[in-house]
Amino acid sequence: MPDALTPETVEPLLRGRFGRPLHYADRCESTQRLLEPALAEGAAAVCNEQTAGRGRLGRGWDAPPGTAILCSVLLRPPPARAVAELSLVGGLAVAETAEAALKLSAQIKWPNDVLVNRRKVAGVLAETAGETVVLGIGLNVNQTREQLPADATVQPASLLTTDGTRRERAPILADLLARLEEAYDRWRAGGLDALYDGLGARDFLRGRRVFVDGEPGLGIAVDRSGRLEVEIAGARRLVESGEVLFER
């Protein structure tokens, strides 16, 4: 099956301004480092293999060559908008993309994971560089179970391990870029309020037993400013950033 993410394959499938220009590398350390800040908003970098893929908080992101979508997009958000919200904007676009491919519902685990059947199929990383934000997305497409990390805190999955179907990555990448552009434009104009129906409906931690800094509690909801409301020892608390674990 032809399965390249080169510009010749992807560009004819693009529906909007995101993905132009598209920078492709067969192999790179991280797509997060391939975008010059002077490029147009929506410029994207993709690769077939990352040698030092990055997660949040100094963690790594791993995928065997040719199995996943590893993509970064350059954004220039208005100063009035909170950059931390972009992980959720990206998460929503990835969740919709996974749903369109799988015909199954996907959830967003605050602040940056996309889950299907309680397993992580994608992660989003927003990094600020001056006035730009590089939004990185890793979506597991064709990894087999053995090719997914064995030691991850949230159990991983790929589209392949979810429904047994091997897929071409280029149409999924083009769909993801179009959905990201749409979600981003709505956020630019109206903040998370404008995306709240889609986010709220996919809020994985709502009503779930969680651990925040080791303390057990209950997930209430992601609020309209992108914070996670939790209840711990009978008191409501808003979590701004970090990691929340859930009971399997």
Residue 48 sits in the site that holds ligand BT5 (CB under 6 A): no
Q: Check residue 54 for interaction with ligand BT5 (CB under 6 A).
A: yes
The only residue of 5, 18, 23, 32 in contact with ligand BT5, by rule CB under 6 A? 32
Closest separation between CB of residue 71 and ligand BT5, Å?
6
- Under the binding rule (CB under 6 A), the answer on residue 101 touching ligand BT5 is no
Report strand pairing: 22-28 vs 44-50: parallel
Min. distance of Cβ 150 from ligand BT5 in angstroms?
A: 9
Q: Is 147 left (phi over 0), alpha (psi -120 to 50) or beta?
A: alpha
Q: Locate tokens 């100063």: which residue?
A: 79
Q: Which of 41, 81, 93, 96 is nearest to 188 (CA)?
A: 81
Question: Which residue from 123, 191, 217, 226 is in contact with ligand BT5, where contact means CB under 6 A?
Answer: 123
The verdict on 149 binding ligand BT5 (CB under 6 A) reads: yes
* 123 vs 22: CA distance, rounded Å: 21
The answer to whether 125 contacts ligand BT5 (rule: CB under 6 A) is yes
Q: Which alpha helices (H) appear in the chain, and where do they start and end?
A: 7-10, 86-102, 159-163, 169-190, 196-201
Nearer of residues 49 and 99 to ligand BT5, judged by Cβ: 49
72 binds ligand BT5 (CB under 6 A): yes
Using CB under 6 A as the binding rule, whether residue 31 contacts ligand BT5 is answered as: yes
Contact 84, 111 (CB under 8 A): yes
Rounded CA-CA distance 217/46 in Å is 39
Name the site residues for ligand BT5 (rule: CB under 6 A).
30-32, 50, 53-57, 59-63, 70-72, 112-113, 120, 123-125, 136-138, 140, 148-149, 152-153, 156
